Structures are given as structure tokens and as C-alpha cells.
Structure 1
Amino acid sequence: MNAVTNCKVEANVASAVRPILEVRDVHKVFGGVRALNGLSLSIAEGEIHCVLGPNGAGKSTFFKMLMGTERPTMGKILYKGRDVTRMPSFGRARLGLSVKFQNMRVFGDLTVFQNLFIPLRRSYRAHQIPERVEALLSQVGLQGNAQRLVRELSHGQQQWLAIAMSMASDPEILLLDEPTAGMSVEESTKTAAIIHELNAQKVTIIVIEHDMAFIRALSARTSVLHYGQLFAQSSFDEIAANPDVRRIYLGTL
């Protein structure tokens, strides 16, 4: 099955489930350079969706479009059918989108509890926060660490704390930008388990990653971007076996 056929088959499957997020024919031009070139992609409600692509494929620009830190030159972005193309980031966050960037900052001189208190105070009363902190730490495998200084945590633990901070607003969609960057194999495996646990709680999760072993562990619908377009979309196993995708990563296509 070729890449174009893969896209059509998966599009038909996705249409059977209500899309929570849609990107329709999105273009983005930076100073004459076309970062996105008619990208169309649909994310089903409640799924884990992985986005792959070589350097320059448009992954980072796509991510910024979803959160509203960049706006399309052309095209639309829909959230539950609502056009949010021109909506700023804070507006999308209020609707239920949250993001964990690769270099999301945690505060090393504060405790884990204090790091979570900061985002939680926007949505919870002070007396509710301790219980919510414990719930979030349990979700990311950091229970018992509330009073530790963040600088004492390992790199992987700090990344899991950043995910917990992104979950503080109880989002419907969580966007994760290379969540395993700098992690050991064991930490990456645990991160996959954390993502599955969050998804089991009805959170739609979009992951941009280049670690193929990690994407395999997620076992999720996977989209491959190339030159700012959707090149292929299928299960990870089918994507990994696609010779055209392999050639993209080798730089021969």
C-alpha cells in the first residue's frame, strides 16, 4: 500500500470518530520559505496521535499552529468544529488545550509542590490544591516527591513534572513536544506508560517525536510530514514498514 492510499484509508477510519481537532489546508510561509504546504490532518477525540518527520518537515510549525503561537498564512484550524484559526494561545488554553514544550521550564529552586501550585491556583481553591497535587504526582509516577526541590530530581523526573504541570488545567487535549528528549531507555518506557495512563482518562494526546522506539511503545495512529504536507498516515507498524517513509528519513526522497 503506497503512502497516498494509506492517507485515504486512515482518513476514512478517522471520519468514523468525531474529530476534536482539524487542520484544513494549512499553509505557512516565513520570508518566502514554505514551512507548511497545504497540510490537512484530523485528530480523533480520545486518541493518541503521533507526528513524525525528518528535520524541516514542518513538525514544529504544525505544533505552533495548534497552540496559536503562530498563525497560518492560509487555511483553518478547528477545535470541536469551531474555527480557532485566529484565536490566541490563552483562548485555546481556556477551551481545553495544553502543551508541554521540549524545553518547558520547571523551577529548580522551588519544591515539586510549589511548581504545581503555580498552575493549579488558576483553577482550584487553596484548600483543594494539596489533594490535586497528589493526584497529578500519582499520574506521572512522582508520588512522595511533593516536598523535594526540583533541582534534586533527575532529568526524566523533571520532564514528568512538566507533564503534570501541563495537566493542571484538566485539558481535553495535551500536546507533547519531544517528551523523551534526553531520557534514558527506561525513562522513555515509563513516559510511554504515563501517556497511556493519561489517555485512559479521556485526554486526547498529540505527540511530536523522532524516537522511533518510543513511538512504537505508544502503538498509536501515526502521521508522517514531509515538506510541510501529510505524506503518510497509518498504524506505527505500517509506517515503520513503509519503504517511502524509510527513504524520507535517509534523505533519498
Structure 2
Amino acid sequence: MNAQARIHMVDAPTHPSLSSPILEVRDVHKVFGGVRALNGLSLSIAEGEVHCVLGPNGAGKSTFFKILMGTERPTTGKILYKGRDVTDLPAFKRARLGLSVKFQNIRVFADLTVFQNLFIPLRRHYSARQIPERVAVLLAQVSLDGSEHRLARELSHGQQQWLAIAMSMAFDPEILLLDEPTAGMSVEETDKTAAIIRQLNAQKTTIIVIEHDMGFIRDLCARTSVLHYGKLFAQGSFDEIAADADVRRIYLGTL
């Protein structure tokens, strides 16, 4: 079977806010110096869902993520956000529309307190009097209650990742993009991160997760898309993806 043409279209899990696509990637190609990183990728993200994107090294995950963020532009193709063509919008304008990002590499201010880390993004949207209450809400969402006065560098690796997620949520985004959010975490921290993502999603935030940790994706129990050679290869529930012999061969490098 032609791997590039083989796509499973499976309904997303039941969710009260699932409706029309909030984000669409339409026939996107991206070429770097003659190397084709994305090769006609088309993918839709439903409003209110958690959507996981996985694939082996070189599948195009990082390029896909950068194009969603706006730090790279497609060679051809379109990106639509809530029906609006945002293909040529820079990252900061996409952020104003409601997209927020948590990068794989931790981007917290190590020598500032947890409160100060959150104060910086919150001050753009909230008054000084409102910020303490909002900080408490954000920290509760990421299991960092009561840590306001700790220096960020005193937190564990996993806690710093959660703080970075809270900083991304400070903008009240409609879509949260997470790039390998469990990188370097312990098993316990990974499990807690899955619980944090589910809680954020329950509050109507659409979440896109770029990951390679199959156990973590299983815990999220989310609709999953597999990229291969810059195209959408398979899509479905995690159980369907995990049971797919061709997907397993992709990860073994035999397809």
C-alpha cells in the first residue's frame, strides 16, 4: 500500500465543545534548500479538542510546529485560524488572535520568583490588582499552588515545565501549542503533565501536542495524527494508531 496515500479518517472523541475546525493546514509544502520537510500536509484541528501529533525523526513535526507558530512560512499552502487565512501573519500577530506556545526548551526566568515569571505576561492583560488572583488560578491549574515566592531555579525540571505552561496560559489563549512537554520528566511528572493538559482542555482550551512519548499520548487518550515524510500518514484514536502495523514499522524504520 502507498504509505503516503494511506490515511485513516476517524471521528474525534466526544467532547461538548467539538465543532468546526479552529485550525486548518491545507496542502502545505515547506522546502529548505532543496530538502522537502513538508510534502502536501493537510490537517484539521477541531475546536475544543486535544490533538497529538507524532512521528519518527525527520517526519516533519518540528517544521509543522514552526509553521503553526508563524516562525516559518510555508513554501506553498495555507494556514487557516477560525476560517481566516493567517499564512503570512507573524508569530506575535497570531498570539494576539489566540495562539500560545510552550516550547520544548524551558523558557522561564530562573532568577525571578514564580510570581514574577507570571507577572510579566499577565501585566499585558490584567491590572496590577487583578494579577495576584490570576496567578493563584494559574498555579492551581498546573499543580504549583503556593509556590509564588520560590525562585524558578529552585523548582524541579518538571515544575519548571509546568510554570512555562502557566506562562503560556497567561494570555488566555484559545489554542495552546505544546512542543514535547514531557521532555526530561520522570514518570510521575509525565503522568501529572497529562492530568494538567486534560484539566486545561476541560476549560475549553484547544491543545495541540507534538510528542514522541507513546505512553504519554496513551494517557491523554486524544485524537492522534502520525506524520511520515512530511505528510499525514494515519489518524485516529491512540488505540487505533498503536495497533496499526504500518505505524509500528515507521517507528522501527522499516517503512
TM-score band by shorter chain is over 0.9
Q: Aligned partners of 1:203 and 1:7: how far apart in 2?
A: 25
2:37, 2:63 within 8 Å by CA — same for their partners in 1? Answer: yes
- Report the number of matched residues: 250
Instruction: Give 1:205's aligned residue.
Output: 207
SS at match of 1:92: helix
Aligned-pair CA distance for 1:105: 1.1
Instruction: Give 2:176's aligned residue.
Output: 174
Instruction: Give 1:226's aligned residue.
Output: 228
1:66, 1:77 within 8 Å by CA — same for their partners in 2? Answer: yes
Give the alignment of 1:1-253 within 5 angstroms: 6-10=7-11, 17-253=19-255
Structure 1 runs (4+) greater than 2 angstroms displaced: 2-11
Instruction: Among all aligned residue pairs of Structure 1 and Structure 2, give the percentage whose two residues are the same amino acid.
Output: 82
Unpaired runs of 5+ residues, structure 2, are none
Aligned-pair CA distance for 1:108: 1.1
RMSD: 1.7
Q: Which has the higher helix share?
A: 1
1:30-84 deviation per Cα after TM superposition (whole angstroms, max 9, x unaligned): 0000000000000000000000000000000000000100000000000000000
Q: Aligned partners of 1:183 and 1:222: how far apart in 2?
A: 21
2:10, 2:237 within 8 Å by CA — same for their partners in 1? Answer: no
Q: Aligned partners of 1:156 and 1:93: how far apart in 2?
A: 25
Read off the aligned partner of 2:86 and give its amino acid letter. V
Please report the TM-score for the alignment, with normalisation by the length of structure 1: 0.96
1:6, 1:234 within 8 Å by CA — same for their partners in 2? Answer: no
1:21, 1:80 within 8 Å by CA — same for their partners in 2? Answer: yes
Read off the aligned partner of 2:114 and give its amino acid letter. V
Aligned-pair CA distance for 1:5: 6.3
Read off the aligned partner of 2:8 and give its amino acid letter. C
Aligned-pair CA distance for 1:7: 2.6
Unpaired runs of 5+ residues, structure 1, are none
